[in-house]
Amino acid sequence: MSSCQPSPEACNACPEKTNGWSENGHSVDIEDYKTELSSLRARTKELEAKLSQLTIDSGKELRSTKWFNRQDDKALSALYVERYLNYGLTKEELMSSKPIIGIANSGSDLTPCNRYHTTLSHRVREGIRSAGGIAIEFPTHPIQESTRRPTATLDRNLSYLTLVELLYAYPFDGVVLMTGCDKTTPACLMAAATVNIPAICLNVGPMLNGYNHDSSSSSSS
């Protein structure tokens, strides 16, 4: 028994029609599909216009407000604000509800693996300010496997515990974790998860090889 659907060759010879065939073999009206598609496109434009007019407001008060903008104890807020005015921050900034973002810097002269963060942190600071936040940088417990005596085995937990206390006890709304090697990274990530604070982890990456008599050299195990 022959199929009732026209073949492609037959369709090429037929005049243009507005009906076609769906996958299940039923006849459909193409104009209905075009009308529905136009309606969906118009609705999409309408929703995009509404979204462009909306602003994101979580409705949640920033943690730092409890330090710098307390409505129930303005004298205490004034005391907290005063302590941070000696290196360039202003009262207006601290009380403006701008997010205060910590920079947890693991770089120092003690830690060659992470030392580049001492330079990179300046760019992170400027990025935070450009995005409308207030940057406050602080050091984390240094960890250097190759020179720590007798062992750096427990230092990951020590770094984790100290960072938990810093993130919890100070007015941070978020934190950039500047990490490197295999202990500072998990220590910082665990601390941010424990305090449940928004965080970005910025790893310093691999170190460049040293040079010996103009030849690149390295050591590894």
Classified as helix, coil or strand, 102 is strand
Percent of the chain residues topping a pLDDT of 70: 83
Give the mean model confidence (pLDDT) for residues 4-31.
Answer: 57
Give the pLDDT of residue 91. Answer: 93
Give the pLDDT of residue 33. Answer: 87
pLDDT at 4 over 70: no
Give the mean model confidence (pLDDT) for residues 54-68.
Answer: 80
Higher pLDDT, 4 or 152: 152
Give the pLDDT of residue 117. Answer: 93
In order of 8, 53, 62, 81, 178, the CA distances from 124 in angstroms are: 62, 30, 21, 23, 10
Domains and CATH numbers, the chain: 61-97 (no CATH), 98-206 (3.40.50.2300)
pLDDT digits (tens, 9 = 90+) for 120-162: 999 999 999 999 999 999 999 999 888 888 888 889 999 999 9
Tell the burial category of 215 from Cβ atoms under 10 Å away from its Cβ (0-12, 13-18, 19+).
Answer: exposed
Higher pLDDT, 89 or 15: 89
Stated pTM of the model: 0.68
pLDDT at 78 over 60: yes
Give me the chain's average pLDDT, please: 85
